[in-house]
Structure 1
Amino acid sequence: MSPMPSPLWSFFHKLPEHYGNNKSHYAAKCKGCIALHVTALENEDTEKLIRGIISERCSEAELRMAEGQEAGKAWKHAQEKRLSPLPSLSMDATTESPMGLTSPSPTPMLLIPPTVNVPTHQQSFSQLPPHLPDQDQTAIEQQLLHATVSAGWSFLSVNDPEVTKLFSMLNPGFKLPTRKCLSGKILDVEYNLHQEGLTQMMDGAYATGQCDGWKDTSKNHIIAFMISAMGTVHVTHVHNTLGERKTAEWLLTLIKEEKKYIKDKLNLKLIGWVSDASGESRAVRIWLQEQFPHLIVADCYAHQFLGITLKKLTNVIEIG
């Protein structure tokens, strides 16, 4: 029994021939790319029709001949299938009437007056408005934030002259936000939207809390709190504790505040807590179990495994 094809194939046309010299994989064409190319040809036909260069546009069937085995021919067909222009007649050309008289030949008549506004699917750069609508500006700003975080770019990159030039070429109507705006107001709005979506999605679900500490690249002492619910893990708070005394009592206070936030703000049912293997964390787990008997309190298995592994590696190095 042959394996089921990947769902990604729904975005491509599979061609009958193999890809290049590869004898086991078939060539394919992207459906989205074909659709964009066909749309560009439709816009080109519209402009030529308004100018009187052609008498009619290519039909929908001719431009969208991209199904099944014809997908590979769609590109070539869409590029070559252009209707012939109307004959160009000069004003001084004459035609002979049946009576032997001559009269000026009429110029070709446009089927659509030039003043008619024929809608097109896409706008050229010259047709873009000087300022984007607020909703479009906000949508691009949000996507820019997503791309910056996902790709690991620095927020300072938006102030780079080459980046500014790139966005100006792509869309002159878009006002590129500053580094302060991108990492401030825009990030805050996206965080609030994420928290609202998180609350709605996990409303009333069971959750497990966890915390861990480390040092970042600037040598700041960081403690992060996370929740695990419905098969996903989400960061709730990150504290910079560089100037704090790292005691068990202080950590217990932070955990109680986090527990209150999970219950009151996120409306989750906390059933357990996990922390690392430090002495302070062990003391906190004992106190949590005494004060909240319904919680399942556990040591982090990853920290235990890492400690055992490092200990064994150290013994091996010493023996060697």
Structure 2
Amino acid sequence: MTHVIEAEDLRRTYSGGFDAVNGISFAVPQGEVFALLGTNGAGKTSTVELLEGLAAPSGGTVRVLGHDPYRERTAVRPRIGVMLQEGGFPSDLTVAETVRMWAGCTTGARPTAEALDMVGLGARDRVRIKQLSGGERRRLDLALALLGRPEVLFLDEPTTGLDAEGRRDTWRLVRELRDGGTTVVLTTHYLEEAETLADQLAIMHQGRIVLSGTPAEVTAARPSRIRFTLPEGVPAARLPLGLRAAADGRRVEIRTHELQDALTELLAWAQGAGVRLEALDARSASLEEAFLEIASGHAAPDAATASHATDLEGAR
């Protein structure tokens, strides 16, 4: 099987004619983390529900592990794990009782202790659900998603409510699962999370994928920036003509696709002119900048060329 997940011209239209998913195509190889990003209403959840087999597409095709996840649900369901944004468990059950209850509905379930140890809840097995913190409930959601040793794991906002340590522990676990061959589909609002974990990502806007590729490819499509403040009496017009600078009073910003060359030219000019650049800050483009540009509707016309959306593996 070339790809574990394949979507071609995938569409989902709700009553009233609203196109939540409007003809998207992508493919996810086995053993990779694929992050699906977008603002609220971009179509992420509607897309993931189609992949999980919770709804039938209005158009196009989707295959998970070689099967239609909606029409061939019995072939797909035992091989996938799903972590929803909220589990909704009975509040009076203990953690261990909840896992055992879920294991009774899961093919080839892990032992309860193993599942809880994986997410750091082994010492909380006798605590009732209503006594858990929000972060602990997210850990329990993850334990249940992993209970059936899934080949494909869907994680919807997996670290919401977790503290910094819990988030890092979850990232470590996701990497271990990926290294063990599990394919992971991740939706998250934490861009650092996507940038850290994803082998490939796609950013959705208004039901379409507008940018996709590796995190490095996505950020490379955007310019780096250099910011600094000029001393009194030194106008921005004195800067080298090769540096395309925008000035607001003494504050200057330079956007460039050649950060090292531009910074070298700037510093050489400052040294030669005896100019001290205050509050100098140079940094490469970030995933956050690409995301916000798309969210604001100002993405560059060639943004989607970072990778061909029909085959994310080919972007490597």
TM over 0.5, shorter chain: no
Question: Which structure has the larger Rg over C-alpha atoms?
Answer: 1
Higher strand share: 2
Q: TM-score, normalised by structure 2?
A: 0.21
Q: Which one has more relative contact order, counting CA pairs under 8 Å at least 6 apart?
A: 2
Q: Which has the higher helix share?
A: 1
